[in-house]
């Protein structure tokens, strides 16, 4: 069985993936994650409970993938709130908003992060609770509900997307939109897991996904872990692999989908969509509805995270570029809706959002 990427760890060491009446919201626990920076070499979990460590884990991609960072931030906010050290409701809510704003600033592109934090704050602020204990119960329950819903949405995306897959197909994916990137079994990889469970034979091509190699490190690791036939290719090989007839379907995830269907995903997705379009290969984006941002009319309204130059000039700490080289490192790009065949969501497969 695949390990859970994000879970709640209570003080007595028990793990939770959904609200549970036996869980005491007043005893400080923490958000427990797999440190993805260490994969595939080592599978190590860390439990976080302070704003700084949660911000840092999201920023350095110890926890990553749009739905996973939403779930981690929500549970992380609850862990921080348990340690506010006040019995005053107004003071508690002020600290809650302040901490949520800080966590939200850790990464800008994935809308799931702000969506989950705002949902937790909104639910807690609007509750007619008169005690901090009551507010904490509402907050932790909401955070665990977000995780529970994400797990259910991933399963539904898997079942819906599985209808696109035929026996013997070659499927190409980019970055990691699997179990490691969500609370459940993934978005783009969920239909692949569902096809495997249905006994279909499939071959997966996983782009390595420079600069941080989420495909070569994470997608390769989790698909191998599940016994799925996976082949890693360099990003620059995708068009050639398509021309050789090895790819029947492309499925990717997304960090934010605008109201017109433009989809921001890991850098390199756009050129993949162009190549798929040229070769008449269907190109699908798999997303939970928490990834849709109706406030963004189109892709130009999506903020694109710029990351540190060292991600490009070094590999595993080893410098590969000349000193003083200029570097441009956008972490995401936007694929226009016109290049997207359809969207696989928890509600079904559709050609527009």
Record the tokens describing residue 283, joined without a space.
């190109």
Record the tokens describing residue 311, joined without a space.
């991600």
DSSP SS3 for 225:
helix
Distance separating the N- and C-terminal Cα atoms of the chain: 33
Of the residues 255, 262, 293, 333, which is catalytic?
Answer: 255
Binders of ligand MRU in range 186-215 (CB under 6 A): 187, 214
Residue entry with tokens 């980019």: 174
Q: Helices 66-81 and 111-126 meet at what angle, rounded to 10?
A: 30
DSSP SS3 for 143:
helix
Q: Please confirm, yes or no, whether 255 is among the known catalytic residues.
A: yes
Binders of ligand MRU in range 103-122 (CB under 6 A): 110
| Cβ atoms of 298 and 260 closer than 8 Å | yes
Contact between 331 and ligand MRU per CB under 6 A: yes
Query: Residues 158, 253, 261, 299: which binds ligand MRU (CB under 6 A)?
Result: 253
Site string for ligand MRU, 44-83 (x = CB under 6 A): -----------------x--xxxx----------------
Applying CB under 6 A, the span of 24-32, 38-46, 137-145, 250-258 interacting with ligand MRU comes to 250-258
CB of 230 to ligand MRU, least distance (A): 16
Instruction: Report the C-alpha gap between 221 and 223 in whole angstroms.
Output: 6
Widest Cα–Cα separation across the chain: 66
64/137 with CB nearer ligand MRU: 64
- The kind and range of the H/E element at 313 are helix 310-313
82/114 with CB nearer ligand MRU: 114
10/265 with CB nearer ligand MRU: 265
77/331 with CB nearer ligand MRU: 331
Number of residues located near ligand MRU, criterion CB under 6 A = 18
Burial class (CB in 10 A: 0-12, 13-18, 19+), 134: middle
Query: Residues 10, 82, 265, 290: which binds ligand MRU (CB under 6 A)?
Result: 265
Applying CB under 6 A, the span of 18-26, 174-182, 194-202, 340-348 interacting with ligand MRU comes to 174-182
**Chain centroid, CA 24 distance in Å:** 28
Applying CB under 6 A, the span of 23-31, 249-257, 293-301, 318-326 interacting with ligand MRU comes to 249-257
Applying CB under 6 A, the span of 74-82, 121-129, 175-183, 274-282 interacting with ligand MRU comes to 175-183
| Cβ atoms of 100 and 114 closer than 8 Å | no
Contact between 5 and ligand MRU per CB under 6 A: no
Binders of ligand MRU in range 211-240 (CB under 6 A): 214
Q: In terms of Cα–Cα distance, which of 275, 254, 292, 259 is closest to 339?
A: 275
Return the sign of the alpha-carbon dihedral for residues 125, 131, 136, 141: negative
For ligand MRU, the binding residues (CB under 6 A) are 61, 64-67, 110, 175, 177, 181-182, 187, 214, 253-255, 265-266, 331
The residues that are catalytic are: 255
């Amino acid at each position: 069985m695949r390990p859970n990427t994000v879970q709640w760890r209570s003080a007595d060491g028990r793990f939770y993936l959904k609200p549970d009446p036996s869980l005491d919201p007043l005893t400080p626990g923490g958000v427990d994650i797999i440190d993805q920076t260490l994969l595939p070499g080592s599978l190590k979990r860390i439990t976080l409970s302070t704003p700084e460590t949660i911000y840092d884990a999201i920023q350095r991609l110890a926890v990553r993938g749009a739905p996973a960072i939403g779930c981690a931030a929500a549970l992380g906010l609850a862990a921080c709130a348990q340690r506010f050290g006040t019995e005053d409701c107004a003071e508690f809510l002020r600290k809650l908003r302040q901490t949520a704003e800080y966590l939200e600033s850790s990464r800008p592109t994935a809308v799931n992060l702000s969506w989950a934090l705002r949902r937790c704050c909104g639910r807690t602020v609007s509750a007619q609770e008169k005690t901090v204990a009551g507010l904490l119960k509402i907050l932790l329950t909401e955070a665990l509900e977000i995780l529970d819903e994400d797990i259910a949405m991933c399963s539904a995306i898997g079942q819906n997307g599985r209808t696109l897959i035929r026996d013997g197909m070659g499927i190409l994916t980019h970055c990691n939109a699997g179990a490691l990137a969500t609370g459940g079994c993934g978005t783009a990889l969920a239909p692949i897991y569902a096809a495997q469970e249905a006994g279909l034979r499939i071959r997966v091509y996983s782009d390595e996904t420079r600069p941080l190699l989420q495909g070569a490190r994470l997608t390769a690791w989790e698909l191998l872990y599940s016994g799925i036939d996976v082949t890693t290719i360099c990003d620059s090989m995708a068009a050639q692999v398509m021309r050789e007839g090895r790819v029947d379907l492309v499925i990717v995830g997304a960090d934010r989908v605008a109201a017109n269907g433009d989809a921001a995903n890991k850098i390199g997705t756009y050129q993949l969509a162009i190549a798929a379009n040229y070769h008449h290969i269907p190109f699908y984006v798999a997303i939970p509805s928490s990834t849709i941002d109706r406030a963004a009319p189109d892709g130009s309204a999506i903020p694109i995270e710029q990351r540190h130059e060292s991600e490009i000039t070094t590999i595993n700490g080893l410098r590969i570029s000349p000193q003083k080289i200029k570097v441009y490192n956008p972490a995401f790009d936007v694929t226009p809706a016109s290049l997207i065949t359809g969207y696989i969501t928890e509600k079904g497969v559709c050609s527009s959002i």
